[in-house]
Amino acid sequence: MKVRIITGLVCAAAVISILVFTGLGYMGVMSIPMGIIAAIAAYEMMRVSKCENKVLTFVSMAVAAAIPAYVDFELQQYIPVPASVILSVYIMALLIIMLKWYDKTKFEHVTFAIIGSLVIPSALSMFFEVRDLCVDYPDLFQRSHGVFLVLCAMYCAWMSDTWAYFIGSRFGKHKLSPKISPKKSVEGAIGGVVGTTLFCVVTYLICDHFFFHIKTVNIWMVLIGGIVLAILGMCGDLSASVIKRNFGEKDFGNLFPGHGGVMDRIDSFLFTMPGMYVLIRIGLAIAGR
């Protein structure tokens, strides 16, 4: 328990640093740690899949590390080839690697490489899109809005599981998904959604009073968004559990003592951060922007 607490405090300090950098508006700083996180997550995906092809693992890690910077610095504008072409060539390259080392490479390893090198870093990179809303829409968003929205995505990724644990351990009677995660209950899931949403609302009321000068976000948006994202966070956690169970693994890694690996920490965030960005885009579309 002591190790879990210490690790949790270190992770909390890292999250606070992310929010501070976001609030101060430092551009480019976060693409480096995001790239490192994505590369480690890609490695953990390949490890869990029991892939012995070191070339495939290395390529997936390298691409995963590069994508956050690619998104953050908008490098596509300097490349004369459409992103769809780059994506097609990359996937063909992975398949060629599979053919070259067919004796120790399965198609599922290529699939894991695609998820690890493209899906995971792309989901993490939605952080930059939310952070830069004040740059893209200065009449609608402040820098403080970006901090608040990122914070809510983090709440819905990590706090919902905490609420679900405490509520479920006390009142849980009906299994949520017994074949995937036997300890999770319907009552705990409801408690997780309600508790996390209320926490988002309280944070909104504080930010609205002290930091927001442009009234773009309202309490109804926070309520709806909190419910949707908390549910998405649980889906992310259960999806990661399915992958681990399919390969007989308890955790993706052991980088964080008592907490598992990077993927064990960000699995829900990979759902809530893109979900947050999609909700924002829907709201902008409704507003005609």
17 against 250, higher pLDDT: 250
The pLDDT of residue 52 = 94
Nearest to 204 by CA among 227, 220, 228: 220
For 201, the token pair is 């609302």
CB 252 within 8 A of CB 266: no
**Model's pTM, two decimal places?**
0.90
The pLDDT of residue 25 = 61
Mean residue pLDDT of the chain comes to 89
> pLDDT per residue over 91-141, tens digit each?
999 999 999 999 999 999 999 999 999 999 999 999 999 988 999 999 999
Is the sign of the CA dihedral 153, 159, 165, 168 positive or negative? Answer: negative
Is the sign of the CA dihedral 210, 15, 112, 98 positive or negative? Answer: positive
> pLDDT per residue over 25-81, tens digit each?
666 678 888 999 999 999 999 999 999 999 999 999 999 999 999 999 989 999 999
pLDDT tops 80 at residue 259: no
The residue written with tokens 């929010």 in the block is 19
Q: What share of the chain is helix, strand, coil (3-state, %, to 5)?
A: 75, 5, 20
Nearest to 42 by CA among 130, 123, 150: 123
Q: How far is 138 from 216, CA to CA, in rounded Å?
A: 11
Domain that holds residue 95: 2-286
Q: How many residues does the chain have?
A: 289
Kindly state the DSSP code that residue 33 receives in the 8-state scheme: H
Residue partners of 222: CB distance under 8 A and separation at least 6: 152, 197, 200, 201, 204
Q: How far is 242 from 248, CA to CA, in rounded Å?
A: 10
Amino acid 214 reads I
* CB-side neighbour CA atoms (13 Å) of 258: 11
Domain count, the chain: 1
41 against 4, higher pLDDT: 41
Of 16-20, 102-106, 156-160, 161-165, which gets the smallest average pLDDT? 16-20
